[in-house]
Structure 1
Amino acid sequence: MKKILLYVGLILSLFSLGACGNNSSASGDKKEITIGATAGPYSDQLKEGIIPILEKEGYKVKVVEFNDYIQPNIALNEGEIDANLYQNRIYLKQFNKDHNMDLVAPYAVPTAPIALYSEKHKSLDDIKEGTTIATPNDPTNLARSLNMLVEFGLIKVDEEADPTIVSEKDIVENNLNLKIKPIDPAQTPRSLGDTDFAFINGNYALASGLKLDEAVEVEKTPEGYLIYVTLRKEDVDKPFAKALEKAYKSDEFLEYTNKNAKGYVKPSYQVEKEANK
């Protein structure tokens, strides 16, 4: 009987330890984080600017690189990663709606703006009758591209169309008969050899070797189009999420940004921090 009681006590002790471990994980008090990012500047930003700060706080961070705009959110929603870094809030809002998800984007990060590039031309003045222009084909970045063409005075779109999701179908005036070619965002840098101009997202531009100061025109990026850290809603207040946010909003990361991300659009918290110095 004593042996039976001893075994029962041992089993209960092991169960108790296991339960404690599960509670720690459930509370978010974990020290290993996996973050998804598109290959290029945001992956580099994590590896070079953020991970060293988190490591000082005892965290071990793994970065998983993705090559499209779909899988990072699916992986996050399914719990395969703990956060991702590649999208703006407007894109996320539409993605949540289309895929019945409830991911959240609590704060922005320094962002390489979308810009118009060309291997053949140096100025908007070179845009003539029948000029070919590639754009990203996802709704958000296609809309950004078309809105820039509107700002340049090259096209007009339906005034009743939602400016955040306008497409080539909403163009009501195109006097130069510009040939708009929406393609996969990752392919826009490669399209430069076959088109006159291409709108290229900052991450893909920099990853392909293009430089922001080589662009023909650069978007004046509003806050909603900056790149945001994205999390599952239930994780926003967990310790690992707060540690990640603290790292991005730190003086140390601001110094990294100023040294390594020239030409990027800074989020409001960095702008305010610099203004108060």
Structure 2
Amino acid sequence: MKKTLLYITLLFSLFVLGACGSDSATSEEKKEIVIGATAGPYSDQLKDGIIPILEKDGYEVKIVEFNDYIQPNISLNEGEIDANLYQNSIYLKQFNKDHNMDLVASYAVPTAPIALYSEKHKSLDDIKEGSTITMPNDPTNLARSLNMLVSFGLIEVDEDADPTIVSEKDIVKNKLNLKIKPIDPAQTPRSLGDTDFAFINGNYALASGLKLDEAVEIEKTPEGYLIYVTVRKEDEDKPFAKALEKAYKSDEFLEYTNKNAKGYVKPPYQVEKEGNK
């Protein structure tokens, strides 16, 4: 009988210890999130629109700012940050392929579109013979810029070329002999003083003080080119990732978007939320 009581007592003790261990694991749930972003609108979006929401849920958020399109994914893949916010899903797909990574574009966010700017001209009609046009040299945004020139009727590209990665080498007709100069994306705003026109990504345009309503022409941005929150595949369903997603999809953040991101392209969940009101 004593042995039986001792055995039951031992089992009960193990159960209590196991339960305590479970509570301890829960209490140690990750409550800090480190997010990488390029300086400008997406970093500001996090600081002013998302962090206040996450802080209400007990999260502490740190933003690490980057000035290129390579290091944020490397840092994420190596575990130095928990998520990043700077790229579209088409760019990420190619980056994963080129660098043997498996990062996941979880959901889009309000996105400042790529646009054509100029300090010298006001209209597409001002594009003349031999005009110089700078544009981002990363494959995805170079293709977006060239596709806009195609839509303007200024160039033609090889019909067999993949439109998502088309480059200046695929141009088969350039009727105005435009001088097309791909350069580092971060340098495109600075090129305005030395060029006729420049295609500038939304984040770099706004970070440099340009306004969307000052653009000569704005891209009609498809969903694949919206900016996405990106995480490691193994973290996609973790509580911190779900908390971040909940903040972006909240009514509070939609209100922030409507007030502070006029001219941005809204992600599908915000469009749907507004449609249901």
- TM-score of the two chains, using structure 2 as the length reference: 0.91
Give secondary structure in 2 for the equivalent of 1:199: strand
CA–CA distance in structure 2, aligned partners of residues 67 and 163 of structure 1: 26
Deviation at 1:254, TM superposition (A): 0.1
CA–CA distance in structure 1, aligned partners of residues 161 and 195 of structure 2: 27
Deviation at 1:106, TM superposition (A): 1.3
Q: How does 1:41-56 map to 2 (within 5 A)?
A: 41-56=41-56
Alignment-derived partner of residue 60 in structure 1 = 60
Alignment-derived partner of residue 136 in structure 1 = 136
Alignment-derived partner of residue 69 in structure 1 = 69
CA–CA distance in structure 2, aligned partners of residues 134 and 65 of structure 1: 25
Judged with a 3 Å threshold, the aligned counterparts in structure 2 of structure 1 residues 91 and 188 are, in CA distance, closer, same or farther, namely same
Alignment-derived partner of residue 261 in structure 1 = 261
The letter of the residue matching 1:133 is I
Runs of 4+ aligned structure 1 residues displaced above 6 Å come to: none
Alignment-derived partner of residue 154 in structure 2 = 154
CA–CA distance in structure 1, aligned partners of residues 150 and 166 of structure 2: 11
Give secondary structure in 2 for the equivalent of 1:36: strand
Q: RMSD of the alignment, in Å?
A: 1.8
Instruction: Deviation per CA, 1:48-73: give whole Å up to 9, x if none.
Output: 00000000000000000000000000
CA–CA distance in structure 1, aligned partners of residues 145 and 54 of structure 2: 36
- 1:104 pairs with 2:99: no
- TM-score of the two chains, using structure 1 as the length reference: 0.91
Alignment-derived partner of residue 8 in structure 1 = none
Alignment-derived partner of residue 218 in structure 2 = 218
Q: How does 1:1-277 map to 2 (within 5 A)?
A: 24=25, 29-277=29-277
Gaps of 5+ in 1: 1-15
Gaps of 5+ in 2: 1-16
CA–CA distance in structure 1, aligned partners of residues 158 and 43 of structure 2: 37
Contact 1:28 1:240 (8 Å CA) reproduced: no
Alignment-derived partner of residue 10 in structure 1 = none
Deviation at 1:29, TM superposition (A): 2.6
Pair member with larger Rg: 2
CA–CA distance in structure 2, aligned partners of residues 140 and 96 of structure 1: 13
Instruction: Deviation per CA, 1:234-261: give whole Å up to 9, x if none.
Output: 0000000000000000000000000000
Contact 1:36 1:72 (8 Å CA) reproduced: yes
Deviation at 1:213, TM superposition (A): 0.1
CA–CA distance in structure 2, aligned partners of residues 264 and 24 of structure 1: 41
The letter of the residue matching 2:256 is Y
CA–CA distance in structure 1, aligned partners of residues 125 and 93 of structure 2: 36
The letter of the residue matching 1:267 is P
Instruction: Deviation per CA, 1:156-182: give whole Å up to 9, x if none.
Output: 000000000000000000010000000
Q: Identity of aligned pairs, percent?
A: 88
CA–CA distance in structure 1, aligned partners of residues 191 and 29 of structure 2: 45
